[in-house]
Amino acid sequence: MAQLPGPGQQNIRLYQRKGLLTPDRTAGGTRQDSDSDLKVLRRISELLEEGLNLAGVAKVLELEAVNARLQSELKRLRPRRGQ
């Protein structure tokens, strides 16, 4: 991820310390970035460009995750209504 254009290695580490990114790690402690981690990193960059600070970014990411879970639950429950 550090080789991609955008935030540098120091910023990525800061995002991890703030809990914005939580990549998997190998047994040796090497970070293993997933496609999901890259999407989160892009979203962080978008929100920072829009003028949010890291606390605001954290709140938006939290709310987006809650919204996604609720949408998923709603989709799961909707078919039951017709029974």
Confidence of residue 50 (pLDDT cuts 50, 70, 90): very high
Q: What is the mean pLDDT of residues 11-16?
A: 90
| Residue type at position 73 | E
* pLDDT exceeds 80 at position 5: no
pTM of the model: 0.76
Q: What is the DSSP letter of 79?
A: H
Higher pLDDT pick, 45 / 7: 45
Q: Report d(CA 55, CA 48) in Å as an integer.
A: 10
Give the CB-side neighbour count of residue 59, counting CA atoms within 13 A. Answer: 5
DSSP letters of 8-51?
-HHHHHHHHHTTS---EE-TT--EE--HHHHHHHHHHHHHHHTT
